[in-house]
Amino acid sequence: MAKGLHRLSLERPIYECEDRIVELEGRTTSIDEQEELRRLRRDVVEMKKRIFRELSPWETVEVARHPDRPKTSDYLSLVFDEFVELHGDRSFGDDRAMLTGFAKLDQYKVLVVGHQKGKTLAERQACHFGCAHPEGYRKSMGKMRLAAKFGLPVICLIDTPGAYPGIGAEERGQSLVIADSMFLMATLPVPIVCVVIGEGGSGGALGIGLGDKIAVLEHAYYSVISPEGCAGILWKSADYKAEAAKSLRFRSKDLVEFDVIDSVIEEPLGGAHRDPRQMAVRLKTFLVRTLRELVAKPTNELLATRYTKFRQMGQVLERSPEGLKPSKP
């Protein structure tokens, strides 16, 4: 139960409690200790509920970045029945930070596109910690065109701190590929479902984030800029990341409030990393339900709805003789 190699400081009371439970369970106990065990088992549930209900914005970022949090590769084996990986952008290389391939989901054949962060240090480095290069977005665009040609719905799993900032990335057109990818996805004639499973970092996330339904896992975040980046620019020091995290309003409940996502997928008690299987079941349920709804729609209607969905995002005021009032396009 209390395995967890990586323990966040916010989880410490939970782990302490669970360690004690394990200790008590492992030996014949006195009546007092049995009473304690019962109490602890009850308390630990309450404690998890409370801690995860009251996560601060910065703590949410920590949970979203938890090393044990299920990644795209975990969901590929837990949610989908089969995965046929397709490599390469046919132009420069095969970006390991972007996984693409055919997959089966219930009765649906789909194309999956997802950021990949890697598990071991070597994998993480090969994936640049989930930061895709231009060839990653070229790869995803190429496979999406393929999906469109053969009528396969596209599922995008978003989990990136941001698109890679480096010399090669700039030389190969990082900004251009992100723009191009949104341009392509805006009119791609198949259903697109996007789920932010961990970090939704800025343009790197949005680069595979334009779809018919957008969902966010409960403790994931989706932001215009990383809290560290924001703190560095506006506070001139990354030490203010917690303040920046608070100001940016990027948690799932904020995203609902601002009308930029369709659904929040609830995480198991204590976060997705405590029970990846349960998380996968919930994700699968969401995906199947959403696909059922989307594949039934005629393409024209699908694309019109997709356009309107993004067209309505934003908040502006309209000046008129009566004064300023909120405007909707």
Q: How far apart are the first and last CA of the chain?
A: 52
Is residue 1 a contact point for another protein (CB under 8 A)?
A: no
The window from 4-12, 30-38, 67-75, 175-183 that contacts another protein (CB under 8 A) reads: 175-183
Size of the site for another protein (CB under 8 A): 61
- Please tell me the distance from the alpha carbon of residue 173 to that of residue 137, in angstroms, as a whole number: 10
316 phi/psi in degrees, rounded to 5: -130, 160
Per-residue binding letters, 206-225, with another protein (x by CB under 8 A): xx-xx-----------xxxx
User: What's the CA dihedral at 169, 183, 305, 290 to 10 degrees?
Assistant: -40
* Residue written as token pair 């969905």: 309
* Cα–Cα distance, 257 to 20 (Å, whole number): 40
Dihedral sign of CA atoms 131, 182, 279, 53 in order: positive
Would you count residue 244 as binding another protein (CB under 8 A)? yes
Q: In the complex, what is the shortest distance from the CB of residue 165 to another protein, in angstroms, rounded to a whole number?
A: 3
Q: Which stretch binds another protein (CB under 8 A): 71-79, 114-122, 142-150, 244-252?
A: 244-252
Q: Which stretch binds another protein (CB under 8 A): 82-90, 110-118, 174-182, 262-270?
A: 174-182
- Out of 5, 31, 121, 167, point to the residue binding another protein (CB under 8 A): 167
Q: Is 233 in the site for another protein (CB under 8 A)?
A: yes
Residues 16-55 that bind another protein (CB under 8 A): none
- In order of 78, 275, 280, 290, 301, the CA distances from 285 in angstroms are 12, 16, 8, 8, 24
Q: Which has the closest alpha carbon to 91: 180, 200, 186, 208?
A: 180
- What are 152's two structure tokens? 């396969």
For the beta carbon of residue 43, count every other beta carbon within 10 angstroms.
Answer: 15
Is residue 111 close enough to count as binding another protein by CB under 8 A? no
| Chain positions contacting another protein, by CB under 8 A | 163, 165-167, 169-176, 178-180, 182-184, 186-187, 202-203, 206-207, 209-210, 222-225, 229-230, 233-235, 243-244, 247-250, 254-255, 258, 260, 306-307, 310-311, 313-320, 324, 326-327, 329
